Chain A
């Protein structure tokens, strides 16, 4: 059975300020909270080899104060108001957000507009040096000192050609992070941090903040005076596919080998992207999924298996990951994964797997949208990528209308053996 008829009501307004800032308002009175969520259309794809990690390092600096907000004061102001704040950098974008009690909207708008309009006077070499150290430690903690930490980097290095904008990791390489200069910080800010390169979503208890009309007034009050700029067009991202399979072995400080298989696929938003997403759910989501049943449950070749597609703006990736059981050779697991991908292109998923996947995707949609900050972020994303916040509400239906043949066609077009990159992480020889 399908539960297609369930939809989530997402009341929306959208506006554009004279300076080009796009604004989305979403009303939800379930909790006395309001989210201020700002997306800048700049991410690691705007970097070049030699300056990798810069967009993310820059994000750190944007928390170090602006003309009217002292160092560490951003978090202090937000916490004093009873709120949370954070930011993140990704391939296509950088986001900044505050979740606040709904009577504290002005604080979020003041903080975000101050760093968009008045950031440069506050930067210093000391702040850059300190955050450089913090970011290098972040990389060590999340990547270099984690088992399998470099595997995804190596997979992308294997899958994508030199200088392809999605090839390097968002966090960047240490030698590049060490190279970043204050001049680059200034230029990066002036180039990308302009109102017409941003989307601002305010979501939550708009009535508690004085009603939608007042919220819009306050947004104009804080952001209206910031002049627009001329953001450069995004870097061209050619759609690439491998034409011959590639394979890399990566020794690491691990007990159990792990196999990564990746391929490129169309961008988020394309019909084929949703087919890829549906396939990934069909293959590995849940204990009754065919890869779990075969690899983990029955043959017990794997400790775990997972498969996912990323929502990237220009072209996306399909990734499958499985870890060997103790005593299992990586080659056995590797060939089993490739056989499953071959099968996906040869015949459609079983009806039960398709039904499960579509219902799971609908549930995931609801579960993801429980958090106001996730809703706000989804609205900013849909507006940044598609200029259409309403896509958030219809996202689940895009998956529901796909059938087994769409999934097979996707696998036949994008997951052929010659299109796959494989990285096998193997235990390092003992020193």
Chain B
């Protein structure tokens, strides 16, 4: 064992080294013969491969009366093709130890497979089959519908989800997609039939111009591009294909509402405060680093002001945090915590106090330095896994960001100063405008919340199903 190199003085922390520059591994862009775009990121840490077709066909294209259409249509892509049944499709990937599946958020729809890298060709063929030849069998539609109705019913049990769903209804007008949820409601899910789902597919997914192919993993770019050309190069758009749809608009901000989702006897309260935030796009990209830094200091980091206040100083919660939702339309800014019910009123005061403090006084040099260095230094943590790398590429595609976005990001963060943080807080967070939602026992919460506005008391069913609001049904 080597002897200590210098006497140890524990009272002096080790010298802080300069932040190390880290660049995302470089990726390749390709255009297939039909014009379809492809991004390939070769990385050889483990012998795995992730292939994905992402389409500009997220839940925000749904009309409100057909909420859940994009989600159900996307889920059915791998539930039957012209050559295989649902279980036969799954078996191709699962026998090889991998999986194939679909996904959907507000912005995009996707079909993905993860396999050992040696199965590149099989994976690409499988993706092409699913994306190009889905058949939407009636019995599979019914299966998926029943499962979704079960999931929608279960939402009534989940306090965090209930509070969040109620907040979205309060923030966004009823004709705005973000008023509801990507899954839709029990009422709308019942109405989605095969013709509706097929037309969603033909309008939004069956078009190479509306899709981007991602390949990440232990592969050579030339091999991945050649496989993609075989699978997708001759794919032509459907006759009904539409161009990518514009993002949801910025709605008029509504005044504060105060809502209790009643859960009689619940042992804790889930709180959210929120207002409409900012769209994620090339147009808002320049101010994005300032929002990330401001949010980190306010509620994004463990050492953020809100978390230290509510958790470490007061013991009200296991953790409080804030976030700007990343969506191509103006998603919400939210602050959330699961709290001791009797402390909910004071917790709201504390959150508003911390926001006001950040709007009025510049953050200290220490806080600023800590958050900037954290955001830059922790970047490589987020790209250890294939799905982390995939997420970085997907954000470029979904929000139309430039290819060198991640190369310039660290310098942008390190350049920000305390005045910029203060200005960002003033621009994006208004304490008087924040809508307040608390899911917990109304009998204990209503008196605590009365000083913030007129308290509306909802039941869980209303929070889960916006269309049930004002409806006579129980």
The finding on whether chains A and B are genuine partners in a shared complex, rather than unrelated, reads yes
CB within 8 Å of B: which residues of A?
A: 1, 3, 6, 8, 15, 17-18, 30-33, 67-68, 71-72, 75-77, 79-84, 99-104, 106-107, 110, 114, 118, 129-135, 137-138, 140-142, 144-147, 213, 216-217, 220-222, 224-225, 253-256, 285-289, 293, 296-297, 300, 303, 323, 325-326, 352, 355-356, 358-363, 366-367, 369-372, 431
Cα(A286)–Cα(B45), bound, Å: 25
Nearest residue in A to B150 (C-beta to C-beta)? Answer: A303
**Cβ contact within 8 Å between A79 and B8:** no
**Cβ contact within 8 Å between A326 and B149:** yes
Partner of B378, one of A17, A84, A103, A221: A84
A-side contacts of B243, CB under 8 Å: none
Cα(A141)–Cα(B338), bound, Å: 6
Given contacts A76-B370, A141-B317, A144-B268, 11 further A-B contacts (CB under 8 A): A8-B46, A17-B1, A32-B22, A80-B369, A104-B16, A129-B315, A137-B268, A140-B268, A145-B268, A359-B97, A370-B46
B419 at interface by CB-CB < 8 Å: no
Given A145-B267, A287-B90, A370-B384, also A81-B2 (CB < 8 A):
no
Partner of A32, one of B14, B153, B369, B380: B380
Cα(A17)–Cα(B3), bound, Å: 12
**Cβ contact within 8 Å between B312 and A288:** no
Cα(A94)–Cα(B446), bound, Å: 41
**Cβ contact within 8 Å between A79 and B374:** yes
Binds A, one of B281-289, B300-308, B420-428, B447-455: B300-308
Nearest residue in B to A431 (C-beta to C-beta)? Answer: B264
Partner of A101, one of B153, B339, B369, B377: B377
26 contacts between A and B (CB under 8 A): A8-B46, A31-B22, A79-B301, A80-B373, A82-B20, A82-B377, A99-B381, A102-B20, A103-B18, A133-B315, A134-B311, A134-B317, A137-B315, A140-B340, A145-B266, A221-B4, A222-B8, A253-B263, A287-B86, A288-B95, A289-B94, A293-B87, A323-B154, A326-B149, A366-B46, A431-B265
Cα(A417)–Cα(B364), bound, Å: 64
B-side contacts of A367, CB under 8 Å: 46, 48, 114, 385
**Cβ contact within 8 Å between A137 and B317:** yes
Mark B1-33 against chain A: 1 for CB-CB distance below 8 A, else 0: 111110010110111111110100000000000
B146 at interface by CB-CB < 8 Å: yes
A-side contacts of B318, CB under 8 Å: 134-135, 137-138, 141-142
B386 at interface by CB-CB < 8 Å: yes
B96 at interface by CB-CB < 8 Å: yes
B116 at interface by CB-CB < 8 Å: yes
Mark B146-160 against chain A: 1 for CB-CB distance below 8 A, else 0: 110111011011110
Given A8-B46, A67-B10, A137-B315, also A82-B87 (CB < 8 A):
no
**Cβ contact within 8 Å between B14 and A107:** yes
Question: By the criterion of a CB under 8 Å from any partner CB, how many residues of chain B are at the interface?
Answer: 81
**Cβ contact within 8 Å between B4 and A80:** no
**Cβ contact within 8 Å between B8 and A71:** no
Nearest CB of chain B from residue A19's CB, rounded to whole Å: 10
Which of A77, A101, A137, A325 has most B Cβ within 10 Å? A137
**Cβ contact within 8 Å between A33 and B13:** no
**Cβ contact within 8 Å between B11 and A6:** no
**Cβ contact within 8 Å between B268 and A6:** no
Given A80-B370, A101-B19, also A363-B10 (CB < 8 A):
no
Nearest CB of chain A from residue B307's CB, rounded to whole Å: 10
Nearest residue in B to A17 (C-beta to C-beta)? Answer: B1
Nearest CB of chain A from residue B223's CB, rounded to whole Å: 18
Partner of B13, one of A100, A107, A363, A431: A107
Partner of A137, one of B5, B22, B308, B340: B340
Cα(A32)–Cα(B97), bound, Å: 30
Nearest CB of chain A from residue B64's CB, rounded to whole Å: 25
**Cβ contact within 8 Å between B377 and A216:** no
A-side contacts of B311, CB under 8 Å: 134
A-side contacts of B315, CB under 8 Å: 129-134, 137
Which of B13, B16, B158 has most A Cβ within 10 Å? B13
**Cβ contact within 8 Å between B153 and A255:** yes
Nearest residue in B to A357 (C-beta to C-beta)? Answer: B97
**Cβ contact within 8 Å between A288 and B87:** yes
B47 at interface by CB-CB < 8 Å: yes
B99 at interface by CB-CB < 8 Å: yes
Which of B13, B97, B114, B370 has most A Cβ within 10 Å? B97
**Cβ contact within 8 Å between B8 and A225:** yes
